[in-house]
Amino acid sequence: MGQPPGSRWNHNIHFHPLVMNAIRPGAASALDVGTGDGELAGDLRSSLSDVTAVDVDADVLARAAANHRGIHWIHGDFMTYDFGRTFDIVAAVATIHHLPSLPDALQRLADLTSPGGVVVIIGLARPTTPRDRLLGLAGVAQHQWLSRTRNFWQHSAPTVWPPPHTYSEVRECAARVLPGVRWQQFALWRYALTWTKPHLSGADAR
């Protein structure tokens, strides 16, 4: 995982391959939630013809639109914006810790996903356990190495630190809201949630 040496790199871009690898065969559409500078939207557009990106920050969205083509840019709050549709893959990288309600954010991401589609969340959380702290220490070493050997780039989108939720809180909430979700925890102070939305049953489809 991660970008090849020489390309633009930061902690969020490092995990873009995890999102890209979650794209299922036959998928055509994607929603990038909290797109920021649009780097993930650009990656998604390289594989999918129908990419929408949404952000509440008009200035950062304008910069993203200037650098990436073929994407439908939306200035708005994904929690309330009426997209009028669902998407085959819904991705949120370093976004949901900006929102006031974690359960509501997870449910909204699920609602915006088409049956059989995938939600991928790369998030930040606070360490509370010995394992969390060991991964944090590993993250310090990993950051020092990668920032020296890659083309480190500081994004322009707003940041929130410290994150409002612990790793344990995020994992427990995700298990409730997204049954069957896959949890992964990494160094570089990130976790990943990957969830496939069930297809409608015969009774639900009628």
What DSSP string describes 124-162? --B--SHHHHHHHHHHHHHHHHHHHHTEE----S---SS
Q: Residue 201's pLDDT band (boundaries 50, 70, 90)?
A: low
Confidence of residue 175 (pLDDT cuts 50, 70, 90): very high
Q: 47-56, 155-164, 186-195: lowest mean pLDDT where?
A: 155-164
Determine what percent of the chain is predicted with pLDDT higher than 90: 67
Average pLDDT, rounded, for the chain: 87
Residue 17: is its pLDDT beyond 60? Answer: yes
How high is the pLDDT of residue 134?
79
**Cα(107)–Cα(195) distance, rounded to whole angstroms?**
12
User: What distance in Å separates the CA atoms of residue 177 and residue 173, rounded to the nearest whole number?
Assistant: 6
What is the CATH topology of the domain spanning 8-127+154-196? Rossmann fold (3.40.50)
Please give the model's pTM, rounded to 2 decimal places.
0.85
6: left (phi over 0), alpha (psi -120 to 50) or beta: left
* Cβ-contact 152, 160 below 8 angstroms: no
Residue percentage of the chain with pLDDT more than 70 = 81
Closest CA to 8 of 62, 59, 94, 67: 67
Mean pLDDT of 164-185: 96
Q: How many CA atoms lie within 13 A of 30 on its CB side?
A: 28
151 vs 17: CA distance, rounded Å: 17
For the chain, domain boundaries: 8-127+154-196
pLDDT category at 101 given cuts 50, 70, 90 is very high
Q: 187 pLDDT band (50/70/90 cuts)?
A: confident
Higher pLDDT pick, 35 / 159: 35
Measure the CA–CA gap between 122 and 109, rounded to whole angstroms.
13
Q: Quick one: 154 exposed, middle or buried, by C-beta within 10 A (0-12, 13-18, 19+)?
A: exposed
